[in-house]
Amino acid sequence: MDVRHAEFVMSNTEVAKCPKEPLPEYAFIGRSNVGKSSLINMLTNKKHLAKTSSRPGKTQLINHFKINQSWFLVDLPGYGYARVSKKQRKTFQTYITDYFKKRKQLVCAFVLIDIRHEAQPIDLEFMEWLGQEGIPFAIIFTKADKLKPQALENQVQDYLNGLLEGAWEEVPPHFTTSAANRLGKEEVLNYIHQINTQLPKG
* All structural domains of the chain with their residue ranges: 6-198
CA end-to-end span of the chain, whole Å? 21
The predicted pLDDT at position 52 comes to 58
Determine the 3-state secondary structure of 4 from DSSP: coil
Instruction: Give the per-residue pLDDT at 24.
Output: 98
% of the chain at pLDDT higher than 70? 89
The CA distances from residue 164 to 63, 113, 144, 201, in Å, are 33, 17, 22, 35
Q: What's the rounded Cα separation, in Å, for the pair 43 and 40? A: 5
* pLDDT at residue 48, as a whole number: 82
Least confident piece of the model among 41-45, 94-98, 125-129, 177-181: 94-98
pLDDT, greater one: 159 or 89: 159
Q: Is the pTM of this model over 0.85?
A: yes
Residue pLDDT, tens place only, 52-108: 544 444 457 899 999 999 999 999 987 764 455 566 556 557 788 899 999 999 999
Give the span between the Cα atoms of 103 and 32, in whole angstroms.
23
DSSP-based three-state secondary structure for 111: strand
Query: Does residue 162 surpass a pLDDT of 90?
Result: yes
What pLDDT sits at residue 87? 62
Average predicted confidence (pLDDT) for the chain: 89
Asked if residue 51 has pLDDT above 60, the reply is: yes
User: What is the CB-side half-sphere exposure of residue 56 using CA atoms within 13 A?
Assistant: 14
The tens digit of pLDDT for each residue in 95-112 reads: 888 999 999 999 999 999
Fold category of 6-198 in CATH: Rossmann fold (3.40.50)
* Residue 180 pLDDT greater than 50, yes or no: yes
pLDDT band at 32 (very low <50, low <70, confident <90, very high): confident
Dihedral angle at the C-alpha atoms of 163, 167, 172, 176, nearest 10 degrees? -20
3-class DSSP state of 48: coil
